[in-house]
């Protein structure tokens, strides 16, 4: 699959015969996000391969337990990864195949509480200065608006509201929309980027390139809207690519791996040795807001966290030191 179209669902037959294609069709019928589909299918494949390619109907709780224990004992996976694997197999067996199994007894992964890596404001700005547009603008949106890398890349022209000074994140994590702040000093460069996206749009219309990709529900609800300017990605890829689902040639957005490489190289150029990536800008956005006295519920809403405890972890990295403690030596 072309890297530019990895988040477009792969094509499956109308009446799939293969079990995994049937599972994909079931997930889509039940409105699971494509990212969830990819993850669940990955773990089902991992499960089948781990047990020598035996058919899933020939296996049950002992085999599930064996894989989950292997992930903890041999792979040293995090509790989150082990839980995702369990959720995938639970969905596959109990919901899709309608096969129940008894309570599982497996080795739990050890939970390591690691505080999020956060840039100082100086570090964030030094990395951003090493970048050039459009990657510089992407990084500034992640730092200035608290966006995930996927949310920045999926921004469409209609999602920017210059009049209200805000942008709308569509179908973020948990399939939720949210509104967040838009840094006013980005307006001019955002408009330049939108002009570039508009020029690509006009060029594609002249060359018969297909409409912008839209998720299933939106494609059904707003049939034909993918051909309208407002639905075009703000950060379009340089070249159109074939949609693996429909075969239509269309222009997608930049691939997330591209911005990850750009930020990694920029951090090295800036002399930043922290283990960091695009998501570090989002961590830093949250920490700056809390340092500036914003209410944690406000920060939670801007980040789109469903549980405030997820937002509270940033309290442990703000101010000075891990707990905001001032060292005795700093008192002179």
pLDDT digits over 86-142, tens only?
A: 999 999 999 999 999 999 999 998 876 677 889 999 999 999 999 999 999 999 999
Instruction: Establish whether 173 is a catalytic residue.
Output: yes
Instruction: Establish whether 305 is a catalytic residue.
Output: yes
Instruction: Establish whether 282 is a catalytic residue.
Output: yes
**Among 4, 252, 253, 282, the one annotated catalytic:** 282
**Among 173, 189, 264, 316, the one annotated catalytic:** 173
**Among 40, 93, 201, 314, the one annotated catalytic:** 314
pLDDT at 50: 96
Instruction: Establish whether 31 is a catalytic residue.
Output: no
pLDDT at 58: 94
pTM (2 d.p.): 0.72
Backbone dihedral angles phi then psi of residue 12, each to the nearest 5 degrees: -130, 155
Q: Which residues contact 142 (CB under 8 A, 6 or more apart)?
A: 148, 149, 152, 278, 279, 281, 282, 285
Angle separating helix axes 121-130 and 278-291, nearest 10 degrees: 140
Q: 249: helix, coil or strand?
A: strand
pLDDT at 211: 84
In this structure, which topology does domain 116-332 adopt according to CATH?
A: hpI Integrase; Chain A (1.10.443)
- What does the chain come to in residues? 332
Say how far apart CA 320 and CA 306 lie, in whole Å.
28
**Among 51, 170, 279, 316, the one annotated catalytic:** 279
Distances in whole angstroms, Cα of residue 200 to Cα of each of 101, 214, 229, 238: 53, 18, 10, 9
On the 0-12 / 13-18 / 19+ scale of CB atoms within 10 A, 196 is middle
**Among 24, 148, 251, 283, the one annotated catalytic:** 148
Classify domain 10-97 by CATH number. Answer: 1.10.150.130
Instruction: Establish whether 252 is a catalytic residue.
Output: no
pLDDT at 330: 57
Give the closest residue to 303 by CA, choosing from 177, 147, 166: 147
Distances in whole angstroms, Cα of residue 325 to Cα of each of 296, 315, 322: 20, 12, 7
Instruction: Establish whether 279 is a catalytic residue.
Output: yes
pLDDT at 71: 95
Give the closest residue to 180 by CA, choosing from 197, 159, 194: 159
Query: Which residue numbers in the chain have pLDDT < 70?
Result: 1-8, 112-113, 172, 174-175, 216-223, 245, 317-332
Residue ranges of domains in the chain: 10-97, 116-332
Instruction: Note whether 10-97 and 116-332 share their fold.
Output: no
Say how far apart CA 330 and CA 320 lie, in whole Å.
10
Going by DSSP bridges, is the β-strand pair 178-181/249-250 parallel, antiparallel, or unpaired?
Answer: unpaired
């Amino acid at each position: 699959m072309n890297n530019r179209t990895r988040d477009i669902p792969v094509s499956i037959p109308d009446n799939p015969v293969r079990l995994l294609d049937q599972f994909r069709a079931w997930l889509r019928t039940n409105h699971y996000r494509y990212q969830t589909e990819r993850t669940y299918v990955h773990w089902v494949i991992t499960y089948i391969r781990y047990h020598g390619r035996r058919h899933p109907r020939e296996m049950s709780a002992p085999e599930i337990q064996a894989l989950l224990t292997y992930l903890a004992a041999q792979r040293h996976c995090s509790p989150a990864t082990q839980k995702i694997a369990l959720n995938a197999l639970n969905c596959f067996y109990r919901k899709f195949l309608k096969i129940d199994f008894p309570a599982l007894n497996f080795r739990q992964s050890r939970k390591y509480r690691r505080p999020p890596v956060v840039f100082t404001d100086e570090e964030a700005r030094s990395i951003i200065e090493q970048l050039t547009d459009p990657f510089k603008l992407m990084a500034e949106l992640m730092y200035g608006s608290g966006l995930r890398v996927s949310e920045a890349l999926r921004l469409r022209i209609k999602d920017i509201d210059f009049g209200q000074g805000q942008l709308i994140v569509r179908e973020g994590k948990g399939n939720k929309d949210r509104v967040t702040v838009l840094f006013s000093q980005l307006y001019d460069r955002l408009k330049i980027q939108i002009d570039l996206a508009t020029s690509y749009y006009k060029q594609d219309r002249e060359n018969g390139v297909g409409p912008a990709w839209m998720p299933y529900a939106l494609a059904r609800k707003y049939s034909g809207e993918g051909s309208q300017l407002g639905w075009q990605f703000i950060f379009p890829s340089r070249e159109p690519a074939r949609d693996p689902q429909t075969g239509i040639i269309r222009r997608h957005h930049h691939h997330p791996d591209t911005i990850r490489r750009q930020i990694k190289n920029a951090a090295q150029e800036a002399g930043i040795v922290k283990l960091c990536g695009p998501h570090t800008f989002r961590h830093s956005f949250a920490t700056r807001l809390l340092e500036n006295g914003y209410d944690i519920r406000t920060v939670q809403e801007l980040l789109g966290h469903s549980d405030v405890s997820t937002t509270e972890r940033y309290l442990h990295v703000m101010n000075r030191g891990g707990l905001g403690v001032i060292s005795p030596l700093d008192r002179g």
